[in-house]
Chains A and B, each alone.
Chain A
Amino acid sequence: MLVKKKKGLLAAGAVMAVASVALAGCSAGGSTGGSGDSDSASSALTVWVDADRAAVLKDAAAAFTEESGVKVKLVQKDFGKIQEELIAQVPTGKGPDISIAAHDWLGNFVTNGVVQPVELGDTAADYEPVAVTAMSYEGKTYGVPYSIENIALLRNTALAPNAPASYDEMIAAGTAAGTEFPFLVQVGPESDPFHLYPFQTSFGAPVFGTNADGSYNPEDLIVGNAGGEAFAAWLAQEGAAGHLSVNVTGDIAKEKFNAGASPFFITGPWNVPDAQKAGIDVAVDPIPSAGGAAAQPFVGVQGFVVSAKTKNALAANEFLVNYIGSEDVQTALYEVGGRAPALTSAFEAASSDPITAGFGAVAADAVPMPNIPQMGKVWQFWGVTEAAIISGEGDPAQLWQKMTGDIQAAIK
């Protein structure tokens, strides 16, 4: 009896605690009229950051606090969940002042009104142009970039001593090497338009046209142009020749390259450490063109954005532009993540590493992944159509035009 009563009480205590906190938490979204916030609360910056970046930011934050007296609170988040959590939490007033973000989330962030523009001022010229373009949406810059990431051609120097100048040369060199695959690229059952995109652009068929300032124009869907049809025909041809296969998933492509089953592998810097661990001497080359024009892969840029509802806009801006944007921090972020820095001076310093320099050379000619929300509706038709063409299920041009029509209907 005695024991049970205790348990009941304990449970009641727990319930009440949870209830009170939950109710208070739920209500936090209500009005923002609470003027009871003290000075100390309003002059502490909350920053969402993923685990890898947190250690570096700790030093930058300490330096910032020493200089300005503004405390910085770092909150570690799972990178993959930040997009949704920021959109869910900023409106409630519970979100951070600053968050790490990938540039292709910006369209979604702006559409939901959770971020505000960041004024890079004259420092904008200090960054790699592609990074600033990527961090812009509808002509305004919404974040301070810190890294650039893109795919390129990995070459096993033992199997292929020279960089191929064109796709045909690559196939010839790959065939001459006598390996299982002339070259590897991840495709998968629903294809992988991201990894095949450099080939697509080499036929002159980007998904969206661009405005004068380099931003994408969602009204101008040009994927279905003549170059697009040529690319579709090329996909069917390479699928029939066995060079592209929907059975080659990312895992399989990586495993085969690391086992020396192909001299070439189109992938990003994330697969380089494992290849080197497998004892392969890797060189990074530009992706060879299949259609004659330049093969431009997508660039992914990461950076830091400022919440639309921050009460510390000035401090947040100061921290981002003058601390995250400093060469020391950008270099330190590069050293933990291995992604090329976005700040030009840090990038040049990092280019002493041939791998980073190789990917960086490709990035200089690459295009940012579209950050307009319409892009989300492109993927669902794009990959499946490519897969069908590669597997030889129907007329390539017809399938490609059907896809263009479906995308057009979906983004209207």
Chain B
Amino acid sequence: MTTPVPRQTSDAEPVRQSKRLRQAARMAEAASVGVKTLLLKILLLGIVDAISVYALFVLFLKQDWVVFGLVLFVTAVVNWIYFSRQKLPAKYLTPGLIFLLIFQIFVVGYSGYIAFTNYGTGHNSTKEDAVNALIVGSQQRVPDSATYDLTVLDQLGAYSFLVTDPDGDISVGNAETPLHRVNDAETDAAGTGIGLPGYTTLNFNDIVNNQEAIAALSVPLSDDPNDGTLRTPDGSSAYLYLSDLVYDASADTMTNATTDVVYTADPRSGAFTAENGEELRPGWKVEVGFDNFVTAFGTEAIRGPLISVTLWTFAFAFLAVATTFALGMALALVFNNMRMRGRNVYRVIMILPYAFPAFLSALVWAGMLNPQFGFVNQVLFGGAEIPWLTNEWLAKFSILFVNLWLGFPYMFLVTTGALQSIPDELQEAATVDGAKPWQVFRLIKLPLLLVSVAPLLIASFAFNFNNFNLIYFLTNGGPRDATAGVNVGATDILISMVYKVAFVGANRDYGLASAFSIIIFILVAVISIISFRQTKALEELN
């Protein structure tokens, strides 16, 4: 980035000189970027553009114009930013912004959107898919009907079935023409029809290449639709099917052919619904407004335990932070004392629990706390059968205890770091002024510690508020009261309750789960904002 100095200026005319000067300055500026850098820049942007063009091409074929527009816009902006000479800040910020948009804003926004839909088991796709699945699923093979040997014929692009029934009779038919007997079919040695004059016989490869059309082809057995239709699942044999459901696209209804029940598409619930309220599954995904939030607060199974679960969640999150911080800080203070020998060895041992995956530790602890065979009762309590995980209060204690074991190393680490940044002179000065060790700690070290550690405590609170792993793997929310009639136990926190309520067995209610996440987010956000306001007061200490 050196300033270019034009060389041959002395013998040139003033007017041309200035022109040349500008020209030279431009060239020099371009050169100052460096040829290699320029090449690299072009190469990288070329790769980016190539991928974008590919994506655009795919999107164009899919006719997804919204995303197409987005990709086009982002690509254009990126090219414009990196090819322009200025916009240095934008060059640094753009990658981060794009990541932020994709991995944060989009995901959060999408979860928020899901909360207002009925997305979940039975409502996981579009109406088109639901209709398709219902029709495909309603094809029922007529019981004890014959297996027909099948040859697929082609006549000017329209497919026909040439079938030989078990009696050796050969018939032909297609979607428009019901099955009728033919006498001039070519047959193989076994008497199975393999061709018909005027038609081309498809071999397996042809069938595979056109299988979508052939699998969709249904040939009526006779003029009466109630006799059923012939379809082929594999291209070499045909079976007689009857469809239970008939879809009427103009009236938007499904009619059950056997019971004559009419199911009308209900755009509010996203399913075909009969007059008696019976719904056909699958349905499709629709927006349901605030229904999920109403369910979250209105269903007895949720409203009943909600208060006690919320209280325990707050108690757990607060106690989890308080206990781990107290132990971590106490140990940090002890190991910060210069007179202690082998401090580093102790410190490494202290940090060990932090190195295990939390869910694994929770599983191991669940085994160790087994009342009859667990290590804790067998070895430490001499075989006493203490119900660590099956008594309501002992289970709560066990949760906090295991969390203490898991969490104190983190607090130990951060307080050790913060302690070492407090100048020793402060302690010496206080001691000289006659302060007792407790006073030194309470009035000097603790406030200074909190300045740097308080934000981490708030983060830790938010983490423990949603500490799903520990609860799920240690007690699974239990113990549960079998007579309570709800699937929520004594140690369930909000997030594990949401999991149990929204995901029962294999049923998934993503809409309800998202609505709950929004509620939990609001709770955590409010607490964090208030707490951060409080810590501002601490910062004024410095």
Residues of A at under 8 Å CB distance from B? 1-2, 5-6, 8-24, 26-28, 30-31, 33-34, 36, 39, 42-43, 68-70, 83-84, 87-88, 90-91, 105, 107-108, 110-114, 116-119, 121-122, 139-140, 189-190, 245-249, 251-252, 308-309, 311-315, 317-318, 321-322, 373, 375-377, 379-381, 384-385, 387-388, 391, 393-394, 399, 402-403, 405-406, 409-410
Chain A residues contacting B59 (CB-CB under 8 Å) are 23-24, 27
Shortest CB-to-CB span from B122 to chain A, Å, is: 5
Do the beta carbons of A118 and B51 come within 8 Å of each other? no
6 contacts between A and B (CB under 8 A): A1-B1, A20-B55, A113-B124, A113-B134, A189-B479, A314-B235
Do the beta carbons of B74 and A16 come within 8 Å of each other? yes
Specify which of A17, A91, A410 is in contact with B125 (CB 8 Å cutoff): A91
Most buried by A among B47, B125, B204: B125
Do the beta carbons of B504 and A380 come within 8 Å of each other? yes
Query: Given A1-B1, A16-B98, are A24 and B211 also a contact pair (CB < 8 Å)?
Result: no
Q: Can you name the residue of chain A whose Cβ is closest to the Cβ of B52?
A: A20
Which residues of B436-495 are within 8 A (CB) of A?
476, 478-480, 482-483, 485, 487
Chain A residues contacting B52 (CB-CB under 8 Å) are 16, 20
Q: Can you name the residue of chain A whose Cβ is closest to the Cβ of B505?
A: A376
Q: In the assembly, what is the distance between CA of A278 and CA of B45, in Å?
A: 62
Specify which of A5, A105, A394 is in contact with B91 (CB 8 Å cutoff): A5
Specify which of A11, A16, A43, A121 is in contact with B75 (CB 8 Å cutoff): A16
Q: In the assembly, what is the distance between CA of A91 and CA of B281, in Å?
A: 15
Q: Can you name the residue of chain A whose Cβ is closest to the Cβ of B58?
A: A24
Specify which of A69, A87, A381 is in contact with B124 (CB 8 Å cutoff): A87
Shortest CB-to-CB span from A182 to chain B, Å, is: 16
Q: In the assembly, what is the distance between CA of A237 and CA of B122, in Å?
A: 42
Query: Given A12-B48, A16-B52, A379-B505, are A318 and B235 also a contact pair (CB < 8 Å)?
Result: yes
Chain B residues contacting A26 (CB-CB under 8 Å) are 67
Do the beta carbons of A108 and B137 come within 8 Å of each other? no
Specify which of B47, B124, B507 is in contact with A373 (CB 8 Å cutoff): B507
Task: Identify which of B176-184, B303-311, B364-372 touches chain A.
Answer: B364-372
B224 CB within 8 Å of chain A: no
Chain A residues contacting B205 (CB-CB under 8 Å) are 68-69
Shortest CB-to-CB span from A296 to chain B, Å, is: 22
Do the beta carbons of A105 and B44 come within 8 Å of each other? no
Q: In the assembly, what is the distance between CA of A118 and CA of B63, in Å?
A: 32
Do the beta carbons of A314 and B215 come within 8 Å of each other? yes
Chain A residues contacting B82 (CB-CB under 8 Å) are 9, 12
Query: Given A12-B82, A314-B207, are A27 and B132 also a contact pair (CB < 8 Å)?
Result: no
Task: Identify which of B34-42, B191-199, B329-337, B406-414 touches chain A.
Answer: B34-42
Chain B residues contacting A27 (CB-CB under 8 Å) are 59, 62, 64, 67
Query: Given A24-B55, A314-B211, A402-B485, are A121 and B98 also a contact pair (CB < 8 Å)?
Result: no
Q: Can you name the residue of chain B whose Cβ is closest to the Cβ of A104?
A: B506
B54 CB within 8 Å of chain A: yes
Q: Can you name the residue of chain B whose Cβ is closest to the Cβ of A399?
A: B482
Q: Determine the interface band of chain B, counting residues with CB < 8 A from chain A.
A: 35 or more
Q: In the assembly, what is the distance between CA of A375 and CA of B133, in Å?
A: 22
Specify which of B209, B281, B389 is in contact with A42 (CB 8 Å cutoff): B209
Q: In the assembly, what is the distance between CA of A22 and CA of B239, in Å?
A: 43
B102 CB within 8 Å of chain A: yes
| Interface SS of A by simple majority | helix
Query: Given A30-B64, A121-B239, are A12 and B209 also a contact pair (CB < 8 Å)?
Result: no
Shortest CB-to-CB span from A310 to chain B, Å, is: 9
Do the beta carbons of A119 and B98 come within 8 Å of each other? no
B225 CB within 8 Å of chain A: no
Do the beta carbons of B211 and A313 come within 8 Å of each other? yes
Do the beta carbons of B482 and A314 come within 8 Å of each other? no
Do the beta carbons of A118 and B233 come within 8 Å of each other? yes
Query: Given A9-B82, A17-B51, A20-B52, are A112 and B212 also a contact pair (CB < 8 Å)?
Result: no
Do the beta carbons of B390 and A246 come within 8 Å of each other? yes
Shortest CB-to-CB span from A34 to chain B, Å, is: 5
Q: In the assembly, what is the distance between CA of A393 and CA of B136, in Å?
A: 50
Chain B residues contacting A403 (CB-CB under 8 Å) are 482
Q: In the assembly, what is the distance between CA of A229 and CA of B55, in Å?
A: 63
Q: In the assembly, what is the distance between CA of A388 and CA of B390, in Å?
A: 10
Query: Given A1-B1, A119-B239, A376-B504, are A9 and B45 also a contact pair (CB < 8 Å)?
Result: yes
Do the beta carbons of A314 and B137 come within 8 Å of each other? no
Query: Given A16-B51, A314-B211, are A9 and B41 also a contact pair (CB < 8 Å)?
Result: yes
Chain B residues contacting A190 (CB-CB under 8 Å) are 476, 478, 480
Do the beta carbons of A108 and B64 come within 8 Å of each other? no
Q: In the assembly, what is the distance between CA of A210 and CA of B102, in Å?
A: 50
Specify which of B1, B71, B239 is in contact with A20 (CB 8 Å cutoff): B71
Do the beta carbons of A15 and B370 come within 8 Å of each other? no
Query: Given A247-B373, A317-B234, A402-B482, are A17 and B48 also a contact pair (CB < 8 Å)?
Result: yes
Q: In the assembly, what is the distance between CA of A318 and CA of B71, in Å?
A: 41
Do the beta carbons of B98 and A308 come within 8 Å of each other? no
Specify which of B44, B208, B237 is in contact with A43 (CB 8 Å cutoff): B208
Shortest CB-to-CB span from B444 to chain A, Å, is: 42
Shortest CB-to-CB span from A256 to chain B, Å, is: 9
Q: In the assembly, what is the distance between CA of A28 and CA of B55, in Å?
A: 11
Query: Given A116-B136, A247-B370, are A30 and B507 also a contact pair (CB < 8 Å)?
Result: no
What 8 pairs between A and B have smallest CB-CB spacing? A376-B505, A113-B133, A91-B125, A113-B282, A20-B55, A247-B372, A119-B233, A388-B482
Q: In the assembly, what is the distance between CA of A308 and CA of B485, in Å?
A: 37
Shortest CB-to-CB span from A67 to chain B, Å, is: 8
Chain A residues contacting B147 (CB-CB under 8 Å) are 121-122
Which residues of B83-140 are within 8 A (CB) of A?
91-92, 94-96, 98-99, 102, 121-122, 124-126, 129-130, 132-134, 136-137, 139-140
Chain B residues contacting A110 (CB-CB under 8 Å) are 137, 281-282
B422 CB within 8 Å of chain A: no
Chain A residues contacting B209 (CB-CB under 8 Å) are 39, 42-43
Chain B residues contacting A21 (CB-CB under 8 Å) are 51, 55
Chain A residues contacting B379 (CB-CB under 8 Å) are none
Q: In the assembly, what is the distance between CA of A24 and CA of B55, in Å?
A: 6
B232 CB within 8 Å of chain A: yes
Chain A residues contacting B51 (CB-CB under 8 Å) are 16-17, 20-21
